[in-house]
Structure 1
Amino acid sequence: MLSKQSLNFSKTCLTLKQKVDLSFDNISPNCSSPLLLEVGRMKIELFADIVPKTAENFRQFCTGEFKKDGVPVGYKGCTFHRVIKDFMIQGGDFVNGDGTGICSIYRGPFADENFRTKHSGPGLLSMANSGPGTNGCQFFITCTKCDWLDGKHVVFGKVVDGLLVMRKIENVPTGPNNKPKLPIVIAQCGEM
């Protein structure tokens, strides 16, 4: 029989979640010196109990813990380079800023951990990739149910606060390649 302390510890282990925080700014393109307009803040819960490797990759890019050549790299200052209304918002390419960059805390692309969590509705955080085993730094947040992505992209978190911010980003006017006409920048990010 488990003691009360052991039982509580077991419950904690089973429900282990990590939360990260992203704050977004919009840069006005018509100024010689950028004018930042606050878009808002999103709080994201990572599914570290289901996909620990994927969650840790994202967490370290949020906190700046990961360093390349001794310099912290990650999502701070990164843009959302692709926005498709009624589908998803994509960001995380701090390498090239256009969806072609790849970097991970594992020093290269890493394998899909599992596909247990489905793209069942809006606000789910998932890995952007170019095929099996090509996960890196890019991610997207679903704006609706996207079940055709199940088995192809690893869901590793969800927005727990700030869905309105996601909707604001989703509705930014876009140009060629679904690139937002106004840059949407991750101004701050970290662990809560």
Structure 2
Amino acid sequence: KREPVFFFGKDSMSLVTPSLADDGSAPVVFLETSLGDIEVELYCTHAPRTCKNFYNLARSGYYDGTVFHRIVKSMCVQGGDPTGTGRGGKSILEDARADGTFDCELTPKLKHTGAGILSMANRGRNTNTSQFFITLAPTPWLDGKHTIFGRVKKGMQVVRAMSEVETAQDDRPRDDVVIRHASVV
């Protein structure tokens, strides 16, 4: 196991609330991975708190050096856990619970209809932390259970390449797929 990456405490960084630009474009987060770059746009109107959490974790360096610890072929790639185990992670939101979780932002307007949907991973309702996943196909059984907060804008070929990585029985990649650096525009 690797040590968690440095986490900026809630008091050490003022959080930014991402919003639509004057031209109506959505905020963007870049994920530079060991397999290539992914650009995701955030759905701030539908999931403002979740977007604020993800955006500020990315801008703080929280995701830098973390791995995609779970790859389920034809379903999703999952990352955002600094321990790399699937059991770690915390929210950066000021009002997150003591265990580092925050509530889901579910809307019937957004569904897991295809590849490239960006959603929060959780351990059950209202247990969002820093973990997220990107879908590889329609996953309607996840609707109403996981907050959808964005989509892949560029780099879907990189996500597909991740899905081809050899995995163990527990869906963990045999070779690490690393988020080298996350940044915001």
User: TM-score, normalised on structure 1?
Assistant: 0.79
Structure (1/2) with the larger helix percentage: 1
Structure 1 residue ranges, 4+ long, deviating more than 2 angstroms after superposition: 11-16
Partner Cα distance (2:126, 2:159) in 1: 27
**How has the CA–CA distance of structure 1 residues 143 and 171 changed in structure 2, closer, same or farther, with 3 Å as cutoff?**
same
Candidates 145, 154, 162, aligned match of 1:152: 145
Counterpart contact for 2:39–2:153, Cα < 8 Å:
yes
Q: How many residue pairs align between the two structures?
A: 160
- The alpha carbon displacement at 1:17 in A equals 1.6
- The alpha carbon displacement at 1:22 in A equals 0.4
Aligned to 1:17: 26
- The alpha carbon displacement at 1:172 in A equals 0.1
> Share of identical aligned residues, percent?
38
Partner of 1:104: helix, strand, or coil? coil
Query: Rg bigger for which structure?
Result: 1
Partner Cα distance (1:15, 1:113) in 2: 22
Structure (1/2) with the larger strand percentage: 1
Partner Cα distance (1:112, 1:137) in 2: 12
Partner of 1:43: helix, strand, or coil? strand
Partner Cα distance (2:72, 2:158) in 1: 15
Alignment of 1:20-31 (within 5 A): 20-25=29-34
State whether structure 2 residue 98 is matched by structure 1 residue 111: no
State whether structure 2 residue 37 is matched by structure 1 residue 51: no
Give the AA of the match of 2:121: A
Counterpart contact for 1:92–1:137, Cα < 8 Å:
yes
Which whole-Å deviations, capped at 9, do the CAs of 1:6-58 have from their partners, x for residues lacking one? Answer: xxxxx967946210100111xxxxxxxxxxxxx11000001011111000100
- The alpha carbon displacement at 1:188 in A equals 1.3
Counterpart contact for 1:16–1:48, Cα < 8 Å:
no
Which whole-Å deviations, capped at 9, do the CAs of 1:93-142 have from their partners, x for residues lacking one? Answer: 01x21100130012421011123311011001000001111000000000
Counterpart contact for 2:69–2:78, Cα < 8 Å:
yes
Which whole-Å deviations, capped at 9, do the CAs of 1:159-182 have from their partners, x for residues lacking one? Answer: 000000000001100013100011
Alignment RMSD: 1.7
**Structure 1 range deviating more: 109-118 or 152-161:** 109-118
Counterpart contact for 1:14–1:49, Cα < 8 Å:
no
